[in-house]
A and B are shown apart, each in its own frame.
Chain A
Amino acid sequence: MRRKISLKPITLFLLLITFVSYGKDEGEQGEHKTDKKTEVKEYIQHHLKDSYDFGLYSYTNDSGELKHVGFPLPVILWDNGLKIFSSSKFHHGEEVAEVGGSYYKVHHSKIYKVDGPNGEIIEDENHHALNEKPLDFSITKNVSLIILVFAMMFFMFSKMAKSYKKNNGVPTGMGRLLEPIVLYVRDEIARPNIGEKHYKRYMSYLLTVFFFVWIVNLFGLTPIGMNVTNNIAVTLCLALITYLITTFSGNKNYWKHIFWMPGVPWPMKIILAPIELLGTFIKPFALMIRLYANITAGHVVLMSIIGMIFLFQNWLGSGLSFLLAFVLAILELLVAALQAYIFTVLSALYFGMAVEEHDHEEGH
Chain B
Amino acid sequence: MGKLFEDFSLGLFFWQAILFIALILLLKKFAWKPILDSVNEREEGIKNALDSAEKAKLEMQNLQADNQKLLKEARAERESMLKEARDIKNKMIEDAKGEAQDQANKMISQAQAAIESEKKAAMAELKNHVAGLSLEIAEKVVRTELSNKNKQLELVETMLGEKSLNEA
Judge A-B direct contact (beta carbons within 8 Å).
Answer: yes
CB-CB under 8 A from A170, the residues of chain B are: 42
Q: For the complex, is A282 an interface residue (Cβ under 8 Å from B)? A: no
CB-CB under 8 A from A157, the residues of chain B are: 27, 30-32, 35
Q: What's the Cα separation between A150 and B21 when bound, in Å? A: 10
Contact with A along B1-16 (1 / 0, CB 8 A): 0001011111111111
**Judging by beta carbons under 8 Å apart, are B16 and A237 in contact?**
yes
Which of B11, B16, B23, B38 is in CB contact (< 8 Å) with A169?
A: B38
Which of A140, A150, A158, A183 is in CB contact (< 8 Å) with B31?
A: A158
Q: For the complex, is A273 an interface residue (Cβ under 8 Å from B)? A: no
Interface range for B: 20 to 34
Q: For the complex, is A136 an interface residue (Cβ under 8 Å from B)? A: yes
> Closest CB-CB distance, A224 to chain B, in whole Å?
17
> Which residues of B1-51 have CB atoms within 8 Å of chain A's CB atoms?
4, 6-17, 19-24, 26-28, 30-36, 38-39, 41-42, 45
> Chain A residue with minimal CB distance to B3?
A232
Q: What's the Cα separation between A238 and B17 when bound, in Å? A: 8
CB-CB under 8 A from B21, the residues of chain A are: 241
Q: What's the Cα separation between A162 and B21 when bound, in Å? A: 22
Which of A128, A162, A204, A237 is in CB contact (< 8 Å) with B28?
A: A204
Interface range for A: 35 or more
Q: For the complex, is A321 an interface residue (Cβ under 8 Å from B)? A: no
**Judging by beta carbons under 8 Å apart, are A169 and B41 in contact?**
yes
Contact with B along A127-143 (1 / 0, CB 8 A): 01000000111111011
**Judging by beta carbons under 8 Å apart, are A234 and B23 in contact?**
no
Q: What's the Cα separation between A233 and B15 when bound, in Å? A: 10
Q: For the complex, is A208 an interface residue (Cβ under 8 Å from B)? A: yes
> Closest CB-CB distance, B13 to chain A, in whole Å?
4
Q: What's the Cα separation between A179 and B19 when bound, in Å? A: 24
> Chain A residue with minimal CB distance to B24?
A208
Which of B20, B39, B42 is in CB contact (< 8 Å) with A237?
A: B20
CB-CB under 8 A from A136, the residues of chain B are: 9-11
**Judging by beta carbons under 8 Å apart, are A237 and B27 in contact?**
no
**Judging by beta carbons under 8 Å apart, are B23 and A236 in contact?**
no
> Closest CB-CB distance, B49 to chain A, in whole Å?
13
**Judging by beta carbons under 8 Å apart, are B38 and A165 in contact?**
yes
> Which residues of A97-137 have CB atoms within 8 Å of chain B's CB atoms?
110, 128, 135-137
CB-CB under 8 A from B15, the residues of chain A are: 137, 139, 143, 146
| Interchain residue pairs A-B with the least CB separation, the first 5 | A157-B31, A233-B13, A164-B38, A204-B28, A161-B34
Q: Tell me the A residues contacting B by CB distance below 8 Å.
A: 49-50, 76, 110, 128, 135-140, 142-143, 146-147, 150, 153-154, 157-158, 160-162, 164-165, 169-170, 179, 182-183, 186, 200, 203-205, 207-208, 212, 228, 231-234, 236-238, 240-241
Q: Tell me the B residues contacting A by CB distance below 8 Å.
A: 4, 6-17, 19-24, 26-28, 30-36, 38-39, 41-42, 45
Question: 5 extra interchain contacts, Cβ-Cβ under 8 A, other than A160-B31, A160-B35?
Answer: A154-B26, A157-B32, A161-B38, A208-B23, A236-B8
